[in-house]
Structure 1
């Protein structure tokens, strides 16, 4: 079952996901447990109850967990590892006009803050 959950995420641990996108993913992901339990929206059962019945965790929570695991994996590698060098790299030049794109490291820092962890805890 664990392998199936990892396959479903399609490398989502590397996506800089916005909250709106997380909500949409969770909504789409809830369709299958609802279908399995033969529950419709008209039945007005809460998602938590359906998740408890099917023992399925929110996709956003699993993605958050995978993102932190991936960050820890990359940060524990040696300095010559390409993933580590890319994370620490500074790109020269200016940004385009408008709101900046959401960066992956900002999402990881937010996840760490939500779990009440520091960036040093990544090495544990």
Structure 2
């Protein structure tokens, strides 16, 4: 089976399973690392390459035409955030995003919140909350295309 076809199968079957529900995860570096490890194990197995062959991850991804799963996780989060923010303000998702809990927090380091992960993602993509309504700009700046993927002119 050609390597590019394996990459297409990975993108259409395996990656969606790997990232299912990732839009709502408050992803930590540890989570991303474990998903990247699982992804690279699968990609290396598909190519018939082992770690002993000392072939870099970028080369394996490039030969299959696959983007890093961390970029795709970020893309999924931003896409879902855009969908929610474009809904009416009384939509339950927007109510939940703006909800503040009163009272004192527990001692120690605060837990990572989903909204702080999304804000960091927006900062890295050069987006602001005002850009949500401009769908073309939001999509252009938040999407991370796979290498070698052809762009469609209709969008």
**Which runs of no fewer than 5 residues in structure 2 stay unpaired?**
1-8, 135-155
User: Counterparts of 1:50-89 in structure 2 under 5 Å?
Assistant: 50-89=60-99
User: Counterparts of 1:1-124 in structure 2 under 5 Å?
Assistant: 4=13, 5-124=15-134
**1:96 Cα deviation after fit:** 1.1
Q: Which runs of 4+ in 1 moved over 4 A?
A: none
Distance 1:88 1:101, change over 3 A: same
User: Within 2, Cα distance between the matches of 1:34 and 1:7?
Assistant: 18
**Which runs of no fewer than 5 residues in structure 1 stay unpaired?**
none
User: Within 2, Cα distance between the matches of 1:122 and 1:47?
Assistant: 34
User: Within 2, Cα distance between the matches of 1:55 and 1:3?
Assistant: 12
**1:33 Cα deviation after fit:** 0.8
| Pairwise CA RMSD | 1.4
TM-score by length of 1: 0.92
**1:58 Cα deviation after fit:** 1.4
